[in-house]
Amino acid sequence: MPLNAGRLPPEAIAENFSDLHPPLSEHEALVAADRCYFCHDAPCITACPTQIDVPMFIRLIASGHPSAAGKTILKQNILGGMCARVCPTETLCEQACVREVAEGQPVAIGRLQRHATDAVMATGAQPFERSSPSGKTIGVVGAGPAGLAAAHRLALYGHEVELYDARPKGGGLNEYGIAAYKTVNDFAAKELDWLLSIGGIELMTGQRLGADLSLAQLQGRHDAILLAIGLDGVNGLGVDGDKLLGVEDAVDFIARIRQDDRGAIPIGRHVVVIGGGMTAIDAAVQAKLLGAETVTIAYRRSRGAMPASRYEQDLATAKGVAIRDHLQPVRIDGNGAVASITLAYTQTVNGGLEDTGETVTLEADQVLKAIGQSLDCPLDLGIDGKKVAVDAEGRTSVSGIWAAGDCASGGDDLTVTAVAEGRDAAESIHRFLTKD
């Protein structure tokens, strides 16, 4: 069964990829804001990796000042617009909301955050003003969430930032790795342009560390360096048949949906996604939205152990995706192209996984791998596990070099966590550069 494009008419694809959560109207925002208790010791602040003052910004919305609310958010999280769209708020601020604990229905913090940050961006102006030039330059490698947050904070302090990225566009996972129905109307690119309008940041694309750039070159050019290169390598399945036509990385599949004409993207009739995180969910849902007849997520552990939140799991099943747990691949079969995948049933024994000896074979003409990513760049730096080792401020084992985001040890691989780490590393760099 060959992969084919255009399984759905263009109008159906356009409808399928419309905004998952349309913006609140002014009236809807006021009603949602009115539900907040404005807690003095608000647990939602602690639950936010960027420590946004949630009660304050919601109070400003309630009093009719959405732009002021947006500035309150952006002081802590300059990518607050994107985070409002993609953060798993159901497991962060909204899960901690007093309304959620008492009533099972939290304040709509994520949608209110979008309302406020959209109000700021609609003006087209930066709410922040740069300090006078410091005479210092910083090289930031990676224009994803961590790199962008750091670059903006450093530019705000008057430093000059050269921002390098390996891809043709800046934005990192915001541009290439988020489900298209979560960030419609080219929002990632618009947010990038708005962020760069602070001045003092030069974005240079097509610059890959290890190929076009070396740490030695950067050290000779800059007063400090921040590595925010993400995780570029994709883990392999390690089973027979994983090189057959129709087997591909889920991150590449998602990137094509973000960058190409969706109606021209080949999609299988029977798609199997291996993995249990957000990448697996985003790939599976979008495969269904492109017209796949059946889409199955196969995860090796239990549903409760899936890294993707229960909300995201339920979203996938609501879109027609089947989630099957305690299954891991053992073989992919096909004559040149994938035709089926055989998976072994697993069970948890003393915290570890074991095969039960039983298998199941699923018809499949497309298999998407979403089993994690790894650091794919030769760096002469201390390594913690499979990431760059850093201290609490993001400093690496080499003086003058910091790391933040997914490539650095510690923290969850979330957009909002990357923003927090990039911002905090920038503060550390600023202290380092101005200590004398």
Domain extents in the chain: 19-122, 137-232+375-434, 234-369
The CA distance from 340 to 41, in Å, is: 54
Residue-level pLDDT at 234: 79
Please write the tens of the pLDDT for every residue from 367-421. 999 998 888 776 788 888 789 999 999 999 999 999 999 999 987 889 999 999 9
For domain 234-369, give the fold. FAD/NAD(P)-binding domain (3.50.50)
Point out the residues of the chain with pLDDT beneath 50: none
Residue-level pLDDT at 235: 83
Residue-level pLDDT at 1: 57
Tell me the CATH class for 137-232+375-434: alpha beta
The upper half-sphere exposure of residue 352, i.e. CA atoms within 13 Å in the direction of its Cβ, equals 3
Please write the tens of the pLDDT for every residue from 254-307. 999 999 999 999 999 999 999 999 999 999 999 999 999 999 999 999 999 999
Residue-level pLDDT at 119: 97
Please tell us whether the domain made up of 19-122 is placed in CATH 1.10.1060.10: yes
Do the first three CATH levels of 137-232+375-434 and 234-369 match, i.e. the same topology?
Answer: yes
Tokens of 187: 């929002």
